[in-house]
Amino acid sequence: MQHLLATIRNCNTCLEHLPLGPRPIVAAHPESKIAIIGQAPGSKVHETGVPWDDPSGIQLRKWLGVTNEQFYDEKIFALIPMGFCYPGKGKSGDLPPRPECAPQWHKQLLENMPKLKMTILIGQYAQHYYLGEARKKNLTETVKHYQNYLPRYFVLPHPSPRNRFWLSKNPWFQKEVLPLLQEKVIATII
């Protein structure tokens, strides 16, 4: 695993497409119990090199019901983005994750974590890649039908502050989905 992580962190496959240059961000361990598969690091995470070290990460830890110490314990959580490097800014937020990363690295990472008990798919890119045709017509419908993907996957929207409107339009998420998510996370990490 250490060799694989070092190889990923030295990857420069997308060099010409990355406005800030390559800086692959990933955290994993052979003992990891929960894999969180998100989108791609934002500019702040690119700067610090710490996965989910931004307002989205703060919100995600609240949703999971875990402390910073638990979240950053690689024996508990593997933090794997769909695109390992900051992809740059688009018209309404960051650009999509680079498409090269997941096919190149995900299978190898997941095969090196035999103790995984739960995989959390955050956002449309992770859900599209992992659920394929099983996903619903849009992210809201996929998340609404989260139980269809259990126990293998737990699907979530992105915890970005930009999703405040989505959260206010979908109060069922906080009432129904988050309590079960927290229950499953606690049961997995204890």
Per-residue pLDDT for 175 more than 90? Answer: yes
**Rounded mean pLDDT of the chain?**
96
Please report the pLDDT score of residue 100 as a whole number.
96
> Per-residue confidence at 18, pLDDT binned at 50, 70, 90?
very high
Which residues, 6 or more positions from 152, have their beta carbon under 8 angstroms from its beta carbon? 119
Structural domain of residue 107, as residue ranges? Answer: 2-189
Please report the pLDDT score of residue 95 as a whole number.
94
The H-assigned helical ranges of 13-77 are 43-48, 55-64, 68-71
> Per-residue confidence at 187, pLDDT binned at 50, 70, 90?
very high
Per-residue pLDDT for 174 more than 90? Answer: yes
> Percent of the chain beyond pLDDT 70?
100
Please report the pLDDT score of residue 110 as a whole number.
98
pLDDT (mean) for 115-135: 97
pTM, whole model, 2 decimals?
0.96
Look at strands 118-122 and 93-94 and give their pairing. unpaired
CATH number at residue 138: 3.40.470.10
Please report the pLDDT score of residue 93 as a whole number.
84
Query: What is d(CA 13, CA 29) in angstroms, rounded to the nearest whole number?
Result: 23
pLDDT in tens, 83-117: 999 999 988 889 999 999 999 999 999 999 999 99
Other CB atoms within a 10 A radius of the CB of residue 104 amount to: 15
> Percent of the chain beyond pLDDT 90?
96
Q: Is 105 helix (H, G, I), strand (E, B) or coil?
A: helix
**Number of domain units in the chain:** 1
Please report the pLDDT score of residue 63 as a whole number.
98
Please report the pLDDT score of residue 98 as a whole number.
96
Please report the pLDDT score of residue 91 as a whole number.
87
Per-residue pLDDT for 190 more than 90? Answer: no
Please report the pLDDT score of residue 17 as a whole number.
93
